[in-house]
A and B are shown apart, each in its own frame.
Chain A
């Protein structure tokens, strides 16, 4: 018993962290409340810390979980709500709701990973369902910002590629851990093909990157991974030559200033916002973030940089790095190949998506419209990011159970030896 206590104490650097995080958001929303005495801000100043407390302190009582990971993801979600409130309160109320839904979805994912022992049937079911879901926007979807990747259910907009990325992880982890090449190759290929048709290049890049990386980890076959990489590069070059919209994206990336009133407008506004923030930012709720188009989704990192400054922006990057670090640790401690691949896949998905969008916002790579995990406005995106963390936490809790079991057996053994 003592052993366990010690271990859980050691694994709880989250306590001080979560208190600090709660205090940060309490004072931030209070500050916004003092600006115009809107009661919503005051309500959020209590509700958001409460949600963080629920997420970080209550959940681990239900099952063993990684508290640091919980603190980080909750901080990022709350940061999204805060920045959205400071720019457009309407988005913030919805985002706060999604945040709650996301917490519930995360718990469900954790339980699913814990309960399901035989994944064959769910995976076989998921394959056709996912492909069908992914095709839907092509049939009944609306085109926004050049991509046709979402549709309406009632008044709710759904972006299926966000949901399918969960089943993609389950499917490829399952087949890869069983060394079956064809099923996942066909599925991943099908997904990529559909995404290309939707012109959703950012998501396609993420799917492709995660699949390739997991293949490398499961097989260790550097040669085939190289072939896959070359194939991807070849497809990218071909896409550049064949599609006008890809060419345009690349041209904007190379010099957004040459056409700052039209094509380059988004990126130019983003860069100006980042530059005007300086090192320490212009201050919460100040500045002109709303001049950036889609400031609430794709360009939310530019808004963060303008209001909080470059140093804070780098700290946010550091938080994602910490999430990747924890995720990789969980994956490495997993007892089965499937769970390891699942945890690593979720980690890579979060990391790669963050890289793709922030890289686009700061003009490191051509901009592709994906959301910033946890922070960007959007129900599907936030919930699916929380589900990714749920998968990760599920694996983490299984690891923890196994570790307890080992300790119990070891102690039993030593007691027997003493006898």
Chain B
């Protein structure tokens, strides 16, 4: 009997543990996923609210109104070109673009978050309820300009670009091509094989290619003690498991340091480095940059990036070192990678909402810079910064250079086979080192021509973006 009593106590404690688990899990999942569940496009509560509440306006950082409601109809303002440039950020009233501001921020736009006192006032006065106006961190003019840069340097190509403030995480611009006009969605838009509703900046994952060498180099700095002084022999190619990995254009660089190899984007050296590091260490570094993490940003929904964990062998490991294998990342995440290096190792959480203003005019600031994670130490970040400076000064990224600015970056040309045919993606990730212009950029151009690379396709677009930002001074 005495033992039985004691065991009853244990059983009761087990039950308490189970209930504690319920409470902790429930509280945790609602605080972290609540907004994602709520703003799901099929939520009948939102649909019902749309019948009675006039949606608030969406305004960019310079006060330009991007979306408003006129006589119960959602109107996207500006010229067709400017409407198209921001359509993936904003979303559309039909909900074709998933997780744009129009759907992901319904909490504010449809007044679910309006203070109770104000809701009561409106009710008493018998007025129509208006949702809150949302001010974004976006420079819509820059978005429009970037689409022009794309058609200037790579006419007809699809792609994406992201610009963010690396000190605060503010998203300054984000575009995805092809785009569409939210005021004129036709049957043709739906049937377009380019899938214009798809947000390539945050929803599509691509092999990062040589832009991933920033992470391989970081891992080398972290794990190989004398890597900065070592000289590595590049013979132009490497046979791993009966398969050859060659350098771009079959170049032979002979003996070079990691710094030179980074500047010239030497595949040979980086495959060797990856093999020296081993899968475990390289994966650890990639994960400290956010690979394999579940991105749960407050303002944005970003597809998770993957560092492959299955079917690993020496060949896969070697190609991971140069950003191939099954690596996958969004242009948004690669922009954050560049931003983390620029920000001395601290990766900021990307932010899109600046403030919210109620219909009665009271403004609540929402914007709080928040660290997402520490990707690398300040010392290693400083080393990487010099490497990336070299790339633009005299390496593969010279076309991103802008007179009067210190530009750092890394180019990339990633290969992938899409339904049988090989496709090459051009990448450029980089940033402005000048303190008064703390901006990081990532540009992705899809299916570039043979003989082209990130340095000739994406870097010129980045240069134009940097020039635009220079004009803000």
Contacts from A to B (Cβ < 8 Å): 213, 216-218, 220, 257, 260-261, 268, 271-272, 274-276, 278, 287-288, 291, 310, 313-314, 317, 320-321, 324-325, 327-328, 331-332, 337, 340-341, 344, 347-348, 351-352, 354-355, 358-359, 362-364
CA distance A274 to B8 in the complex (A): 34
The residues of B that contact A261 with a CB separation of less than 8 Å are 42
Nearest 8 CB-CB pairs, A to B? A328-B12, A275-B37, A217-B7, A275-B38, A275-B34, A351-B15, A271-B37, A332-B5
Given contacts A332-B8, A340-B5, A362-B29, are A274 and B37 in contact (CB under 8 A)?
A: yes
The residues of B that contact A340 with a CB separation of less than 8 Å are 1, 4-5, 8
Q: Is the CB of B8 within 8 A of A217?
A: yes
The residues of A that contact B48 with a CB separation of less than 8 Å are 288
B25 interface contact, C-beta 8 A: yes
Q: Which of A287, A348, A364 contacts B25 (CB 8 A)?
A: A364
Chain B residues 369 to 385 lying within 8 A of chain A, measured CB to CB, are none
Q: Is the CB of B8 within 8 A of A287?
A: no
Chain A: CB-nearest residue to B19: A321
B183 interface contact, C-beta 8 A: no
Q: Is the CB of A268 within 8 A of B42?
A: yes
Q: Is the CB of A272 within 8 A of B43?
A: yes
Q: Is the CB of A217 within 8 A of B4?
A: yes
A-contact 0/1 string along B133-153, CB 8 Å cutoff: 000000000000000000000
CA distance A244 to B5 in the complex (A): 42
Q: Is the CB of B19 within 8 A of A355?
A: yes
CA distance A278 to B35 in the complex (A): 10
Give chain B's interface secondary structure class: helix
A-contact 0/1 string along B1-36, CB 8 Å cutoff: 101110111011011101101110111011001110
B239 interface contact, C-beta 8 A: no
Given contacts A272-B45, A351-B15, are A310 and B8 in contact (CB under 8 A)?
A: no
CA distance A275 to B44 in the complex (A): 13
Q: Is the CB of A275 within 8 A of B33?
A: yes
Q: Is the CB of A324 within 8 A of B16?
A: yes
Give chain A's interface secondary structure class: helix
Query: What's the least CB distance linking B282 to chain A, in Å?
Result: 28
CA distance A211 to B309 in the complex (A): 41
Q: Is the CB of B21 within 8 A of A220?
A: no
Q: Which of B4, B11, B22, B27 contacts A358 (CB 8 A)?
A: B22
CA distance A4 to B9 in the complex (A): 27
Chain B: CB-nearest residue to A176: B4
Chain B: CB-nearest residue to A320: B19
Chain B: CB-nearest residue to A328: B12
Chain B: CB-nearest residue to A336: B1
Query: What's the least CB distance linking B32 to chain A, in Å?
Result: 11
The residues of A that contact B9 with a CB separation of less than 8 Å are 328, 332
Q: Is the CB of A276 within 8 A of B45?
A: yes
Q: Is the CB of A275 within 8 A of B19?
A: no
Q: Which of A220, A276, A324 contacts B3 (CB 8 A)?
A: A220
Q: Is the CB of B45 within 8 A of A324?
A: no
Q: Is the CB of A362 within 8 A of B25?
A: yes
B40 interface contact, C-beta 8 A: yes
The residues of B that contact A310 with a CB separation of less than 8 Å are 26-27, 30
**Could you give 26 example pairs across A and B, Cβ below 8 Å?**
A216-B7, A217-B7, A217-B8, A218-B4, A220-B4, A261-B42, A271-B33, A272-B42, A276-B38, A276-B43, A276-B45, A278-B34, A288-B48, A310-B27, A314-B26, A317-B19, A317-B22, A324-B15, A331-B8, A337-B4, A340-B1, A348-B11, A348-B15, A352-B15, A355-B15, A355-B18
Query: What's the least CB distance linking B86 to chain A, in Å?
Result: 27
Q: Which of A261, A325, A332 has the most CB of B within 10 A?
A: A332
The residues of A that contact B25 with a CB separation of less than 8 Å are 362, 364
The residues of A that contact B3 with a CB separation of less than 8 Å are 220
The residues of B that contact A217 with a CB separation of less than 8 Å are 4, 7-8, 11
Query: What's the least CB distance linking A343 to chain B, in Å?
Result: 9
Q: Is the CB of A288 within 8 A of B42?
A: no
The residues of A that contact B26 with a CB separation of less than 8 Å are 310, 313-314, 358, 362, 364
CA distance A287 to B7 in the complex (A): 45
7 further A-B contacts with Cβ under 8 Å, apart from A268-B40, A340-B1, are A272-B38, A275-B38, A317-B23, A332-B8, A341-B4, A355-B22, A362-B25
The residues of A that contact B112 with a CB separation of less than 8 Å are 276
CA distance A321 to B9 in the complex (A): 14
Query: What's the least CB distance linking A332 to chain B, in Å?
Result: 5
Q: Which of B8, B12, B22 contacts A362 (CB 8 A)?
A: B22
The residues of B that contact A341 with a CB separation of less than 8 Å are 4
CA distance A320 to B29 in the complex (A): 21
Q: Is the CB of A288 within 8 A of B33?
A: no
CA distance A237 to B42 in the complex (A): 34
The residues of A that contact B15 with a CB separation of less than 8 Å are 321, 324, 347-348, 351-352, 355
CA distance A344 to B1 in the complex (A): 13
Q: Is the CB of B8 within 8 A of A328?
A: yes
A-contact 0/1 string along B59-103, CB 8 Å cutoff: 000000000000000000000000000000000000000000000
Q: Is the CB of B11 within 8 A of A216?
A: yes
Chain A: CB-nearest residue to B42: A260
Q: Is the CB of B33 within 8 A of A364?
A: no
The residues of A that contact B8 with a CB separation of less than 8 Å are 217, 328, 331-332, 340, 344
CA distance A278 to B107 in the complex (A): 11
Q: Which of A217, A260, A278 has the most CB of B within 10 A?
A: A217
Q: Is the CB of A337 within 8 A of B11?
A: no
A-contact 0/1 string along B195-217, CB 8 Å cutoff: 00000000000000000000000
Q: Which of A213, A291, A321 contacts B44 (CB 8 A)?
A: A291
Q: Is the CB of A325 within 8 A of B40?
A: no
Q: Is the CB of A272 within 8 A of B40?
A: yes
CA distance A213 to B8 in the complex (A): 9
CA distance A217 to B3 in the complex (A): 8
The residues of A that contact B27 with a CB separation of less than 8 Å are 310, 314
Given contacts A324-B16, A355-B18, are A275 and B5 in contact (CB under 8 A)?
A: no
Query: What's the least CB distance linking B112 to chain A, in Å?
Result: 8
The residues of A that contact B30 with a CB separation of less than 8 Å are 274-275, 310
Query: What's the least CB distance linking A215 to chain B, in Å?
Result: 10
CA distance A321 to B8 in the complex (A): 15
